[in-house]
């Protein structure tokens, strides 16, 4: 058992190590599992060694891993002078009497950020997100700036920092200004900073940097140059209640799809742990993830997370230190449901650009809008049965009773199935329009009404109705009651404490 435990711990260590090394995006590293296992065994660190020995073994491990005698990052893009730029961004405006989903990380800012790295494909260590940073993060980030002069670095969310951390950041910027040695280029994104600070110069943003189509093409070129296959992203959008989730469940999800709901909070630790577990247990080469995003999601934090995942290729958990990295040669598919809000009175596509701009940039060719025209009410066995008896109700044949043949054999009431799906929808829609005109016009209510009605119209397939010989107008009386009950249950108020009792009595199925 102890040997098995040690084997499992080694597999876990190598799995986490592989994700960490992949997040660095260093092309010279051989990150095959067999290579990592071999190097892990060769340079395994035993307990009770001193710090110098730890560092020596770690250095030898990295030397063997990269198998490269030259600089890890090529120096041919080093600039002749130290450059620190201020990128002035506009603060989003919102009125006091409406909920605003606008945020600083808007469409223009996303486009600029993608283009500002020029020929580099950004890695997570090249961007400092100041909204959740620490003293150590700031010191380490500026250490990277000094160490890697060929790289570009970006500092975001400066205006959201605690004043103490902001003072530390500006102190580091001042020290960098006095630096004699060449360091990496730095871009500070801010609404409030000014170029009156020594060492900062205004960055003149080229017009093309704000073009989403150009930004997308620029990003695809960088992926191609770095031999990285980008994630496959399928966007499903549409108005509230139009049937987006139903469409995804029916046409996109598979048995191997892992589902995540993002509501009012984003639990990054749980997300990373789940991704790592999903990756370690993967049994096929077509992994897929379904993100069901609520309109109450923290969109600014979510956009940063999606940028890190899809552009930088990894997610980092500052609490546990865990890192998840997307594979470079195997594609993960992400199915993302986009919520809709009519707060601003904009159409579906503009709503998408507003709340999740990073996705609108990187997946312009895979956006599917669900509408009433392209995704009508789905007709399966249950819906057909409902339509069959609604047709009989409409043409008054539902009041038929048992008939007698010439030979004296009794023939029960029976109705032929409807084979045309459009005809089925017509009878269901006509019923809703005539008997439930105040029902909201969306798929959720249509589906709910139909399901509640189906559980009731099964009465018409039973013995009591099919062999009825005595009760006049039984079909009409029963169907009218069924429609009223289905309508009432569809419109039930879940804020009422009595709703569970209502369901238990009137709809136990």
Spacing of C-alpha 256 from chain mean position: 17
Which pLDDT does position 448 carry in this prediction? 87
Phi, psi torsion values for 291, nearest 5 degrees: -100, 115
Q: With residue 460 as reference, give the H or E element that holds it.
A: none
In CATH, what number does 228-369 get?
A: 3.40.50
Q: Contact 466/414 with Cβ under 8 angstroms?
A: yes
Contacts 24+ apart (CB under 8 A), 462-466: 465/413, 466/402, 466/412, 466/413, 466/414
Q: Is the model's pTM score more than 0.95? A: no
Q: Contact 299/346 with Cβ under 8 angstroms?
A: no
pLDDT one-digit tens code per residue, 364-389: 999 999 998 888 888 999 999 999 99
Full 3-state SS string of 315-350: EECCCCCCEEECCCCCCCEEEEECCCCCCCCCCHHH
CA distances from 320 to 136, 262, 270, 315, 392 (A): 15, 21, 11, 12, 63
Which pLDDT does position 99 carry in this prediction? 47
Helices in 24-87 by DSSP H: which ranges? 33-42, 51-66
Domain coordinates in residue numbering, the chain: 2-66, 84-210, 228-369, 381-506
Which residues lie across from 235 on neighbouring strands? Answer: 336, 367
> Which pair of structure tokens corresponds to residue 4?
């098995």
Confirm whether 84-210 and 228-369 share one CATH topology: yes
Which pLDDT does position 110 carry in this prediction? 95
Which pLDDT does position 140 carry in this prediction? 96
CA distances from 358 to 109, 113, 299 (A): 9, 10, 11
Helices in 67-162 by DSSP H: which ranges? 107-116, 135-147
Q: With residue 156 as reference, give the H or E element that holds it.
A: strand 152-156
Q: Which burial class, exposed, middle or buried, applies to 35 when counting CB atoms under 10 A from its CB (0-12, 13-18, 19+)?
A: middle
CA distances from 417 to 383, 456, 479 (A): 11, 17, 18
DSSP 494: T
Q: 291 by DSSP, 3-state: which? A: strand
- The pLDDT profile of the chain, 509 residues, written as one tens digit per residue, is 656 667 788 888 888 888 998 898 887 667 778 888 888 888 888 777 788 888 898 888 888 887 755 566 655 566 778 899 999 987 766 544 344 566 778 999 999 999 999 999 999 999 999 988 999 999 999 999 999 999 999 999 999 999 999 999 999 999 999 998 999 999 999 998 877 888 899 999 999 999 999 999 999 999 999 889 999 999 999 998 888 998 999 899 988 899 999 999 999 999 999 999 998 887 777 889 999 999 999 999 999 999 999 999 999 998 888 999 998 878 899 999 999 988 778 899 999 999 999 999 999 999 999 998 888 888 999 999 999 999 999 999 999 999 988 888 999 999 999 999 999 999 999 999 999 998 888 888 888 899 999 999 999 999 999 999 999 999 999 999 999 999 988 887 656 665 565 555 555 55
For residues 262 and 302, what is the distance between their CA atoms, to the nearest angstrom? 9
For residues 186 and 184, what is the distance between their CA atoms, to the nearest angstrom? 6
Q: With residue 438 as reference, give the H or E element that holds it.
A: none
Which pLDDT does position 115 carry in this prediction? 96
For residues 426 and 432, what is the distance between their CA atoms, to the nearest angstrom? 10
- Of the chain, the end-to-end C-alpha distance in Å amounts to 48
For residues 138 and 127, what is the distance between their CA atoms, to the nearest angstrom? 11
pLDDT one-digit tens code per residue, 341-350: 887 788 999 9
For 84-210, the fitting CATH number among 3.40.50, 3.30.530, 3.30.450, 2.60.40 is 3.40.50
Which pLDDT does position 478 carry in this prediction? 96
Angle at Cα 398 formed by Cα 397 and Cα 404, nearest 5°? 75
């Amino acid at each position: 058992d102890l040997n098995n435990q040690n084997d499992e711990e080694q597999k876990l260590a190598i799995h986490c190590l592989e994700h960490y090394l992949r997040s660095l995006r260093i092309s010279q590293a051989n990150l095959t599992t067999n290579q990592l296992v071999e190097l892990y065994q060769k340079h395994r660190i035993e307990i009770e060694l001193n710090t110098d020995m730890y560092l020596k073994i770690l250095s030898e491990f990295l030397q063997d891993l990269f198998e490269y005698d030259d600089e890890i990052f090529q120096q041919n893009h080093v600039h002749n002078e130290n450059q620190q730029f201020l990128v002035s961004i506009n603060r989003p405006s919102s009125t006091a009497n409406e909920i605003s989903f606008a945020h600083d990380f808007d469409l223009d800012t996303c486009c600029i950020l993608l283009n500002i790295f020029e020929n580099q494909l950004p890695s997570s260590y090249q961007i400092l997100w100041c909204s959740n940073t620490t003293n150590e993060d700031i010191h380490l980030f500026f250490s990277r700036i000094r160490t890697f002069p060929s790289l570009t670095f970006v500092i975001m969310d400066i205006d959201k920092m605690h004043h103490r951390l902001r003072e530390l950041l500006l102190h580091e910027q001042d020290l960098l200004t006095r630096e004699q040695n060449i360091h990496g280029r730095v871009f500070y994104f801010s609404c409030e900073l000014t170029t009156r600070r020594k060492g900062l110069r205004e960055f003149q943003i080229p017009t093309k940097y704000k073009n989403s189509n150009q930004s997308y093409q620029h990003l695809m070129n960088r992926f191609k140059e770095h031999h990285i296959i980008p994630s496959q992203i399928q966007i499903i959008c549409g108005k509230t209640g139009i049937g987006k989730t139903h469409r995804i469940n029916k046409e996109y999800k598979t048995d191997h799809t892992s589902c995540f709901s993002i509501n009012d909070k984003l639990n990054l630790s749980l997300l990373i742990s789940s991704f790592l577990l999903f990756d370690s247990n993967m049994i096929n080469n077509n992994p897929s993830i379904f993100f069901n995003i609520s309109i109450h999601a923290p969109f600014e934090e979510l956009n940063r997370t999606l940028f890190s995942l899809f552009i930088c290729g990894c997610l980092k958990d500052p609490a546990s230190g865990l890192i998840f990295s997307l594979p470079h040669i195997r594609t993960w598919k992400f199915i993302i449901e986009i919520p809709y809000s009519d707060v601003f009175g904009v159409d579906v596509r503009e709503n998408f650009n507003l709340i999740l701009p990073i996705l609108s940039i990187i997946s312009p060719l895979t956006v599917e809008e669900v509408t009433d025209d392209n995704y009508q009410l789905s007709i399966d066995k249950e819906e057909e049965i409902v339509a069959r008896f609604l047709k009989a109700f409409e043409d008054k044949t539902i009041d038929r009773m048992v008939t007698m043949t010439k030979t004296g054999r009794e023939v029960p009431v029976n109705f032929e199935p409807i084979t045309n799906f459009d005809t089925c929808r017509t009878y269901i829609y006509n019923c809703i329009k005539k008997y439930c005109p105040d029902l909201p016009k969306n798929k959720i209510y249509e589906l709910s009404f139909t399901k509640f009605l189906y559980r009731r119209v099964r009465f018409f397939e039973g013995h009591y109705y099919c062999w009825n010989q005595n009760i006049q107008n039984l079909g009409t009386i029963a169907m009218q009651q069924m429609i009223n009950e289905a309508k009432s249950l569809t419109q039930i108020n879940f804020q009422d404490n009595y709703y569970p009792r209502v369901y238990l009595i009137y709809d136990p199925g």
